[in-house]
Amino acid sequence: MTYVSLVRPRWTDMDVYGHVNHAKMVTLLEEARIPLLFEGAVKAGVEQLPKGIVVVKLAVAYRRPIVVSGQDLRVDIDLTELKAASFTLSYRVHGGPAESDPVAVTAETVLAPYDTVALRPRRLTPPESEFLKQGFADA
């Protein structure tokens, strides 16, 4: 199932060409996943996960420019891989808030839970893995 998030680009997110800047797009992707991975995890009682998640890999592909117009962008997020110590999310960023708006950006992040005390990646706990499966199944 797909988790849907709405994010709104800001005027300062534009580059000199009037398009949303690459670095700002990466931030918008982060903002799109935060409600599920942080707020949703805490509500589900999986409180260690939001205390430490690091991006292991990031890939972004642009199909068309996104111009700041004062409207939300629809970000469809899917869990595409779940491993013992990482998980992969894929993103489709639509040029507007509707599913029918054209996809402007596709992206993928590989994320890993991180132990902030030991300062190293760690394995997902069974409740965390179940939360991720369920979070996207309930989307």
CB 63 within 8 A of CB 104: yes
Question: In 3-state terms, what secondary structure has residue 112?
Answer: strand
Strand segments (E) across 1-139 = 2-7, 53-62, 73-82, 87-94, 103-115, 120-121
Other beta carbons within 10 Å of 36: 21
pLDDT in single tens digits along all 139 residues of the chain: 899 999 999 989 988 888 999 999 999 999 999 999 999 899 999 999 999 999 999 999 999 999 888 899 999 999 999 999 999 999 999 999 999 999 999 999 999 999 999 999 999 999 999 999 987 776 5
In sequence order, what are the residues at sequence separation of 6 or more whose Cβ sits closer than 8 angstroms to the Cβ of residue 16?
A: none
For residue 61, what are the domain limits? 2-137
CATH of the domain at 12: 3.10.129.10
Instruction: Indicate the pTM of the whole model.
Output: 0.92
Nearest alpha-carbon partner for 7 in 66, 74, 63: 74
What's the domain count of the chain?
1
